[in-house]
Amino acid sequence: MTRPGAFFVAALAIMTFSATPTKAVTPGEILDDPVLEERARDISAGLRCLVCQNQSIDDSDAELAKDLRLLVRQRLTEGDSDTQVIDYVVSRYGEFVLLKPRFSAQTLLLWGMPLIVLLTGAAYIMMGRSGPRQAPTVLSAEEHAELEKVLQSRDRDP
């Protein structure tokens, strides 16, 4: 293998193996009960870091993410269900904290609006093209005579 080829293969291997997500949970945050810890990880994987905004709190090193991870674990140790923990965090930080938003009328409207606009535009275009058309009007005898006069006078004028 040539030197540039080997370099390419090594770089590709490094990028592939380093692309795995890392968890920001520190050993001091981990709960003693493995069942509760697993529940905490599942919940925190679905909560957005409000500082990073594109990472879960489980993956973020931000202080707020750490505080939220601790809050989740505290609520679980106090006996809250997963739904109660999520509802509590959402009540404090809003729906934006959820990485996967809940289905509601707002999300339906948000996701459905492009389709509604597209269908409305298509209907407008189709109605504009196929709207009621008037039949060509037939000239009365007087209008026909007037038109003949105008055309004859135009033919005579140079």
Cβ 99 vs Cβ 47: under 8 Å: yes
Cβ 56 vs Cβ 49: under 8 Å: yes
pLDDT digits 0-9 by tens, 18-69:
544 446 777 778 888 889 999 999 999 999 998 987 899 988 889 999 999 9
pLDDT, residue 77, reads: 93
* Domain with residues 24-97, CATH architecture: Orthogonal Bundle (1.10)
Statement: the pTM of the whole predicted model exceeds 0.85 = no
47 phi and psi angles, rounded to 5 deg: -105, 135
- Token reading at 43: 């919940």
